[in-house]
Amino acid sequence: MKLYSFFRSSASFRVRIALQLKGVSAETVPINLRKSEQDEAAYRKLNPQSLVPALQDDGHFITQSLAILEYLEETHPQPPLLPKAPAERGRVRSLALAVACEIHPLNNSRVLNYLKDKLGADEAARDAWYRNWIAVGLAALEARLAAEKETGRYCHGATPTFADCCLVPQVYNARRFKCDLAPYPTVVRIEGACLALPAFQRAAPEQQPDAV
């Protein structure tokens, strides 16, 4: 199994967490986004979207982090990262998608580079953009996590799920951009619970072989 990854990619971070939680080994194939290696012909042939992560396993090549999480859940079901009950599975998936589809796409490197290179946004304007969408997204997550009875030590109950795999990398990025996290105490509490686990620690960007 190979994981095409960039150490600071939050989508790659999600998959690394899932691999660590499940005890699945994968060889890291670094794709340096800062050097535009994702746009090189060899990688574009594998993944026409030119994005990370991508997982190569048993002759299959799977892209998109949430699809990879689903694949790992089906091929390595223990420990489970989704609850058993359909409604609970739906809740976990909705929390994960709130990060992966609503927060992250507005703030990924392609968008920030477009704001800089095509629209002439300076660093202050790009940071303001980033912090605005972090605030919008985390406020919605905080409201849900604080109010819903299914929230436990982690986003859902007493064990990590897909939702935690997505939440922790997003909060990590928010800290990088010096976003104010004080309005989101439940989010921060859950992040702390996750980061106490060795699996999350081993998946952290600074622990990756391509970290610089």
67-76 pLDDT per residue, tens: 999 999 999 9
Distances (CA, A) of 210 to 6, 160, 168: 7, 26, 20
The predicted model scores a pTM of 0.96
The answer to whether 18 touches 81, Cβ cutoff 8 Å, is yes
> Does the pLDDT at position 90 exceed 90?
yes
* 3-state secondary structure labels for all residues of 74-100: HHCCCCCCCCCCHHHHHHHHHHHHHHH
Average pLDDT of the residues of the chain: 96
The answer to whether 145 touches 151, Cβ cutoff 8 Å, is yes
**Coil vs helix vs strand at 153:** coil
44-62 pLDDT per residue, tens: 999 999 999 999 999 999 9
pLDDT at 212: 80
The answer to whether 93 touches 150, Cβ cutoff 8 Å, is no
The Cα 134–Cα 194 span in angstroms is 20
Average pLDDT over residues 109-130: 95
167-190 pLDDT per residue, tens: 999 999 999 999 999 999 999 999
Residue 34 per-residue DSSP state:
G
